C-alpha cells in the first residue's frame, strides 16, 4: 500500500490518503474498487496497525458503494478515519441514507474529485471535506464550487493533485485549507512481511503438536482446514497404510496412522518452505536452529519439543525480517514461548537460543559459561545439517 500526505497551509501534515498498491490481474473489473478498498483496510488495520501508518493523524480511505450503504461493514471506529466518497458513486437515496448514518456515527466524510452535476452536492450538509482536482478538474467551475462550499462552515477545502507552482497559487487564491499533490509530496510505498491465515494455522498446528499433551482432535481439525497439508498427510500415510486390509477413509485416520512425530516433521517443513520463501541455505539454517535447540534443551532445563518450536519460530521471524514478538501476537502460544519471543532475557528458552546463535555466529567465547559440552557441538551441528538437507529434499517427493 501507499500513503500520500495531506498538508495544511503551514505545511504541517494533518493526515494521509491511503492508496492501494498491488496486482489485480485475477480480480473481475467490476470488483476491483471494492477489492482495493478492502485490501487497504485489512493492510492498514491488521498488518501494519493504524499507529504505524498515520500515528495520531487522520487517514483518508476511498469508499465504494458497498461500504457506504452497509452491504460491507466498516471494521473500525470513526476516531481517525475520513471516508472518501468517490466521484464515480451515484448518490441515490440508499447512498444518501448510508452516508448520513455514517456521519451520524461520527465518521468524517470527504467528497473526492468534486464535480458539479453528479449530485454529490447533496452531501454538503454532512461533509467535512470537499476535494478539488487542480490538475484535471473543471477549473471554470472552481469559483462557484468554492462560493457554495463556504456556505457550509464545517467544510474544509482540499486542493488535490497539485503539481505546479501555478496550481499551488490557485490553492492560495481560493484559501483552500488543505493541500495534496506531487508538488508537496509523492505517495510513499509501505511494505511489511505478513503471515496468511493458512500459514498462521500451520504455526498454530506446530505449537499444538509440541505442547506437553497434544490435543489430537484439534490437530485433526487444523489439518482438515489446510488442504495442502492434508494432502501431504494423506500421501505420507500411503506407505504406512500399505498391506493394511482397509483403505484410509479420513484425514483423522491418516493422522493416527502416520503418527504425531512424522506430522511434526511435515508441519515444520511446510512452515519453513512456504512461510518464508527463502533460499535453501536459509531454510536449512532455520530448521537446524530448531533441532539444535531440541538437542541442547536438557542442559537448559527446557522441554525438548518446546525448545524446537521456539528455535524454529525464531528462525522463521528472522527469515521474514519481522520482530519475533509479532509471531507471539499472531499466535496462541504457551506462556513460556510467548514470553521468550517477546524478549524475556531471563527465560531459559532465550538463554538456550543465545547459546545456539553464538555457535551459529562462530562466537565460541560466548559459550564459555554455557552448560553444554563444547566438543560435541561440531559433530552435532554437522549431523543436523545433513538431516535438514534430507528433509528439504523430501518436500519434492
- 221 and 348 in a single domain? The answer is yes
CA 347, chain centre distance (Å): 28
- Centre a 10 Å sphere on the Cβ of residue 365 and count the other Cβ atoms it contains: 7
Choosing from 189, 211, 230, the residue where a domain stops is: 189
Under DSSP, is residue 336 helix (H, G, I), strand (E, B) or coil?
helix
Supply the range of the domain harboring residue 116: 2-189
Domain count, the chain: 2
- 242 and 141 in a single domain? The answer is no
- 152 and 219 in a single domain? The answer is no
- 109 and 225 in a single domain? The answer is no
Choosing from 172, 189, 206, the residue where a domain stops is: 189
d(CA 305, CA 294): 6
- 163 and 224 in a single domain? The answer is no
Contacts of 222 (CB under 8 A, 6+ apart): 201, 204, 205, 208
* pLDDT tens string 353-368: 988 888 888 787 777 7
What is the secondary structure of 279-305 as a DSSP string?
A: -HHHHHHHHHHHHHHHHHGGGGT--HH
Contacts of 243 (CB under 8 A, 6+ apart): none
For residue 121, the model assigns a pLDDT of: 95
d(CA 37, CA 59): 13
* pLDDT tens string 239-290: 555 455 555 556 677 777 777 766 766 666 665 555 555 555 666 677 788 8
d(CA 86, CA 149): 18
The structure's pTM equals: 0.56
Which has the closest alpha carbon to 254: 220, 205, 214, 213? 220
DSSP lists the bridge partners of residue 85 as: 63, 111
How many CA atoms lie less than 13 Å away from 183 in the CB half-sphere? Answer: 17
- 341 and 224 in a single domain? The answer is yes
N- to C-terminal Cα separation, the chain: 37
- 121 and 90 in a single domain? The answer is yes
The length of the chain, given as a count of residues:
397
- 226 and 147 in a single domain? The answer is no
For residue 396, the model assigns a pLDDT of: 45
- 221 and 370 in a single domain? The answer is yes
CATH number at 126 reads: 3.20.20.450
Which has the closest alpha carbon to 107: 63, 157, 47? 63
CA 281, chain centre distance (Å): 26
For residue 228, the model assigns a pLDDT of: 63
Cell of residue 287, nine digits: 530448521
Helices (H), the chain: 32-42, 50-54, 65-68, 93-104, 142-149, 165-173, 197-209, 216-224, 227-241, 251-258, 260-270, 276, 280-296, 304-320, 324-330, 335-341, 348-360, 377-394
- Centre a 10 Å sphere on the Cβ of residue 142 and count the other Cβ atoms it contains: 17
- 13 and 121 in a single domain? The answer is yes
∠ Cα 209 381 312 (to 5°): 30
What are the residue ranges in the chain where pLDDT is below 50? Answer: 242, 394-397
Choosing from 139, 158, 189, the residue where a domain stops is: 189
d(CA 39, CA 22): 9
Amino acid at each position: 500500500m501507499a500513503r500520500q500526505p495531506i498538508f495544511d497551509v503551514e505545511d504541517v501534515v494533518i493526515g494521509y490518503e491511503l492508496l492501494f498498491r498491488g496486482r489485480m490481474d485475477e480480480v473481475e473489473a467490476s470488483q476491483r474498487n471494492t477489492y482495493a478498498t478492502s485490501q487497504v483496510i485489512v493492510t492498514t488495520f491488521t498488518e501494519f496497525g493504524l499507529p504505524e501508518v498515520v500515528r495520531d493523524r487522520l487517514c483518508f480511505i476511498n469508499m465504494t458503494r458497498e461500504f457506504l450503504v452497509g452491504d460491507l461493514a466498516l471494521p473500525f471506529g470513526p476516531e481517525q478515519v475520513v471516508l472518501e466518497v468517490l466521484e464515480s458513486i451515484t448518490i441515490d437515496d440508499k447512498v444518501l441514507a448510508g452516508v448520513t448514518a455514517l456521519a451520524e456515527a461520527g465518521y468524517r466524510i470527504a467528497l473526492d474529485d468534486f464535480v458539479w452535476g453528479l449530485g454529490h452536492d447533496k452531501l454538503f450538509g454532512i461533509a467535512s471535506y470537499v476535494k478539488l482536482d487542480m490538475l484535471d478538474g473543471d477549473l471554470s467551475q472552481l469559483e462557484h464550487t468554492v462560493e457554495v462550499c463556504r456556505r457550509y462552515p464545517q467544510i474544509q477545502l482540499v486542493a488535490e493533485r497539485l503539481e505546479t507552482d501555478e496550481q499551488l497559487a490557485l490553492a492560495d487564491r481560493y484559501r483552500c485549507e488543505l493541500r495534496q499533490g506531487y508538488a508537496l509530496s509523492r505517495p510513499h510505498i509501505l511494505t511489511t512481511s505478513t503471515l496468511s491465515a493458512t500459514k498462521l494455522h500451520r504455526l498454530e498446528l506446530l505449537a499444538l503438536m509440541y505442547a506437553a499433551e497434544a490435543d489430537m482432535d484439534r490437530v485433526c481439525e487444523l489439518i482438515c482446514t489446510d488442504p495442502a497439508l492434508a494432502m501431504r498427510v494423506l500421501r505420507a500415510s500411503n506407505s504406512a497404510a500399505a498391506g493394511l486390509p482397509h483403505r484410509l477413509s479420513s484425514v483423522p485416520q491418516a493422522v493416527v496412522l502416520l503418527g504425531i512425530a512424522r506430522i511434526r516433521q511435515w508441519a515444520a517443513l511446510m512452515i519453513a518452505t512456504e512461510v518464508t520463501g527463502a533460499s535453501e541455505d536459509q531454510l536449512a539454517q532455520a530448521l537446524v536452529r530448531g533441532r539444535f535447540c531440541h538437542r541442547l534443551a536438557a542442559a537448559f532445563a527446557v522441554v525438548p519439543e518446546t525448545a524446537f518450536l521456539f528455535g524454529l519460530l525464531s528462525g522463521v521471524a528472522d527469515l521474514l525480517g519481522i520482530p519475533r514478538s509479532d509471531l507471539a501476537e499472531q499466535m496462541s502460544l504457551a506462556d513460556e514461548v510467548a514470553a521468550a519471543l517477546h524478549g524475556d532475557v531471563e527465560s531459559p528458552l532465550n538463554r538456550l537460543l543465545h547459546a545456539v546463535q553464538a555457535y551459529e555466529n562462530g562466537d565460541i567465547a560466548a559459550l564459555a559459561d554455557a552448560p553444554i559440552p563444547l566438543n560435541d557441538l561440531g559433530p552435532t551441528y554437522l549431523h543436523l545439517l545433513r538431516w535438514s538437507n534430507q528433509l528439504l529434499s523430501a518436500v519434492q517427493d
